[in-house]
Structure 1
Amino acid sequence: MLASRELTCQSLHVTPNGDAIRAIRTAKQLSIRALALRTGLNRGYLSRLERGLIAHPGESKVALIAAAMQVSTSAITHKETPT
């Protein structure tokens, strides 16, 4: 039972789309500092995420960013399946 749950969790990776995050943040007139305050995440971390330097931040962080910007997680991610 545990093995099947682990397989389900690992079968789909959420990859942030840094360009989309930046575009939405800019359109909503949010600075990285403001987004950092809303999410509790470090400004440097958010900057690296937008530049594509963090490939797999974890679904909870992506959900936190999406909620802070009031968009769906699919608006700021690419879903990839393992090959």
Structure 2
Amino acid sequence: MTIVIAFHQSGYRDFKTYYIYFVYRYLTNEFPESVSYTRMLKLMQGVLVSLCSYLTNRQARSTGIAFVDSSKLQVCHNLRILRH
């Protein structure tokens, strides 16, 4: 579960690249008994319920204050401005 959370906080776009090129190279001291990538995919299926529970618990409480980004949206043609 720690590897999955760290993946989501990293800048990697796909888990395979993260696991093979980052965990195997730089996290060998933290995870000395790391398994192969295909085995990790099987193990991740069993972590889903625990991960959802953890993330729900760590979710920030709503304050009722929201911020809206007022930057312009670019459209592909001026005739479509009103539809976007």
Q: TM-score normalized by structure 1? A: 0.29
Greater share of strand: 1
Q: Determine which structure has greater relative contact order: mean sequence separation of CA pairs < 8 Å that are 6+ residues apart, divided by chain length.
A: 1
- TM normalised by structure 2 equals 0.28
